[in-house]
A and B are shown apart, each in its own frame.
Chain A
Amino acid sequence: DQQVKQNSPSLSVQEGRISILNCDYTNSMFDYFLWYKKYPAEGPTFLISISSIKDKNEDGRFTVFLNKSAKHLSLHIVPSQPGDSAVYFCAASGSGAGSYQLTFGKGTKLSVIP
């Protein structure tokens, strides 16, 4: 039972355009969400996060949007650069017991074409 779902295994975007990566979750106890980027043979690198009390968080070219009613979040990268090519994981954690555990989606492989 996948509690965090990334339904697009891959995405190709032209350099300079916007990349939109989507993530859905089913557990209503999740209240903190993170995006990680992973290059081959490296561990995941923290990118950006959002608390459930917000609906948007921005950091440079990266913006995360959260729609709690739809249990959906998205990561926008604009403008996309070739160096952004990587696997992006959406992760979630809850409050209370087990809140330190991150539950990950399967990832979306982003390819930015020069």
Chain B
Amino acid sequence: GAGVSQTPSNKVTEKGKYVELRCDPISGHTALYWYRQSLGQGPEFLIYFQGTGAADDSGLPNDRFFAVRPEGSVSTLKIQRTERGDSAVYLCASSQGTSMEQFFGPGTRLTVL
């Protein structure tokens, strides 16, 4: 595809459930990032992949959050035992190598009831 795609666009779940959010980066981009944007805030860094490995996961808020990128392309952000405070828009971005310019997908709006 031409840009970063994310699925689903919206996800409503109940407190305590498990969710998976998917990101498909721009073809050929080796770097992939996850950010979280809460209402009225700017995006906040969660995790960064260079290839298949998580080079920096320091932004993940706790051990309920985990992300994988097994083949160095598509990534999945996994959230266990969701809490109402997890409600936010989860943004994925990709970039070419170590380029500073990150290209964002449309985001997944997660609502935890």
> Interface residues, chain A, CB within 8 Å of chain B?
4, 32, 34, 36, 41-46, 49, 89, 91, 93, 98, 100-107
Contacts and interface: CB of A to CB of B under 8 A. Distances in A.
Contacts of B44: 104
Chain B interface size range: 20 to 34
B42 interface: yes
A89 B101 contact: no
B103 interface: yes
Contacts of A104: 42-44
A41 B9 CA distance: 9
9 shortest A-B CB distances, which residue pairs? A104-B42, A43-B104, A101-B45, A43-B106, A44-B104, A104-B43, A32-B100, A43-B105, A106-B42
A1 B55 CA distance: 24
Contacts of B60: none
Contacts of B101: 34, 46, 49
A52 to B, nearest CB: 12
A100 B32 CA distance: 10
A102 B105 CA distance: 15
Given A32-B100, A42-B106, A46-B103, A102 B56 contact: no
Nearest to B9: A41
Nearest to A46: B101
B106 A106 contact: no
B42 A100 contact: no
Nearest to B89: A43
A43 B41 contact: no
A91 B103 CA distance: 13
Contact of B56 (A34, A101, A105): A101
A103 B43 CA distance: 8
A107 to B, nearest CB: 6
